[in-house]
Amino acid sequence: MTTTIRVVKPIATMQLEPGSFVTIPDVTWEEFKAILEELGEKRSSRVAYYQGTFEIMVPLPEHEKPKDIISDIVKILLKATRKRYEPFGSTTFKKEGAAGVEPDACFYIQNYQLMIGRRRIEANDPPPDLAIEADVTSKTTIDAYKAIGVPEVWIYNGKTLTIHLLQNNNYIKSDTSPNFPNIAITQIIPTIV
């Protein structure tokens, strides 16, 4: 007869190298919240949670550069089109009991007025209007974004940019962004990055 020994170690003691990606199944919502608290806010890792699966990844510089360039392009376009916005970086967004995600960058555009001066996300706050993911070293959990209700998600995979628009609780791929309808985003961003 074999005996199973359960090993319990704090997540914060894990030494993950840049580029590491770890998936842990069967994580409860309460465990996810405890992990977030244990990890704290000042960390280089990013996390995602959807339907009991917890993911933690540590980006490489090759991930950070595209994210910064795309974020800067968005800011330039928002200013050029005279749209007001609030950037929220890689803030953790949660849907109680279902999903948690930290975009590489995100923006409140239509809902920017609600978020001016906010230092923390409240339970009743809307999701960001635009989230950006650079999938250079890991893959985005798009279903987590769907559960949270982010209307527009851009995913750059190192070669192409895909725009996902939330319609009828499902993402559809689009060639255009409703935030920049007259700009060829999917062509411009890969060229610049």
In a domain, 134, yes or no: yes
| pLDDT tens-digit map of 76-131 | 999 999 999 999 998 999 999 999 999 999 999 999 999 998 888 888 899 999 99
CATH number of the domain enclosing 186: 3.90.1570.10
Domain that holds residue 131: 60-192
The answer, yes or no, to whether residue 11 has pLDDT greater than 70, is no
23-31 contacts, C-beta under 8 A, 24 or more apart: 23/53, 23/54, 23/55, 24/53, 24/54, 24/55, 24/56, 25/52, 25/53, 25/54, 26/52, 27/52, 27/53, 27/54, 28/52, 29/96, 29/97, 29/98
In a domain, 111, yes or no: yes
- How many domains, the chain? 1
